Amino acid sequence: MSYKLRVEALQAWYGQHQVLKGISMPIRANTITAVIGPSGCGKSTFIRCLNRMHEVVPGTRVAGRVWLDGRNIYNGINAVEVRRRVGMVFQTPNIFPAMSIFQNVVAGLYLNGIRGRRQLQERAENCLQQAGLWEEVRDRLHDTAAGLSSGQLQRLCIARALAVEPEILLMDEPCSALDPIASIRIEELMRELKASYTIILVTHNMQQAARVSDYTAYLCDGELVEYESTPEVFIRPKDSRTENYITGRGADTRPL
């Protein structure tokens, strides 16, 4: 199986405070990799470093290398190109409430200079179908997106991320604000999408990580403690800290 990303000695800081402490791991193509660990361990910072979102925050710093198809995203690749190829879905759906469903989906395309009405319509329909939302909104594409449910809004954000044709999809706790039924729909969607995309999922939900991911990385205190196939991590963890965290018996949860 080929690797889509390779992370080497990745470190990250907020001011003088070091959040990530030399993380190295390969990410396999067309898989779902779950990133788990206690609050404050650096999970969200880690995935924000994978599409250069971390550097958007003033006072931050990154060291190390992130190889995307053999190219270091921190050396010689424009950040805009990186973020197009590595899309992101946030914990809270970040829609444009005053814009229509259609406008929300194609916003990234419009900003990138794509104006052809037919092309925009075709891309919007395709991405809404990929996100499992087309049948629910096809008759109200020009209604405001604010009228959608929380689960629909999150799938709308996924459709918008897919519209710019990324290769990797980062998902930062996409189900944390959703009810169980909406969460299951997002999980089903992730399984469908991995045929075409490489997905990296941050989650606090151990059951979700076990259900949907192929590989699991356990972070603690900014360090990568364990990274194996999900069955190995959940059934035969090699590190006692991993086992304690998964079973709830008391991991090292010192905040950063």
pLDDT tens per residue, range 172-181: 999 998 999 9
255 assigned to some structural domain? no
Q: Bridge-partner residues for 200, per DSSP?
A: 33, 170
121 assigned to some structural domain? yes
User: Whole-prediction pTM value?
Assistant: 0.92
Q: Report the pLDDT averaged over residues 185-195.
A: 95
The single-letter code of the amino acid at 47 is I
When the pLDDT of each residue in the chain is averaged and rounded to a whole number, the result is: 93
Residue 251 has pLDDT above 80, yes or no: no
221 assigned to some structural domain? yes
241 assigned to some structural domain? yes
190 assigned to some structural domain? yes
CATH assignment of the domain containing 88:
3.40.50.300
Q: Report the pLDDT averaged over residues 39-64.
A: 95
* Residue at token pair 């470190």: 11
252 assigned to some structural domain? no
Residue 102 has pLDDT above 80, yes or no: yes
161 assigned to some structural domain? yes
Domain hosting 161: range is 3-247
DSSP-derived 3-state class of residue 118: helix
Q: Report the pLDDT averaged over residues 105-113.
A: 86
Q: Report the pLDDT averaged over residues 19-37.
A: 97
Number of domains in the chain: 1
202 assigned to some structural domain? yes
What is the DSSP annotation of 138-198? TT-TTSBGGGS-HHHHHHHHHHHHHHT--SEEEEESTTTTS-HHHHHHHHHHHHHHTTTSE
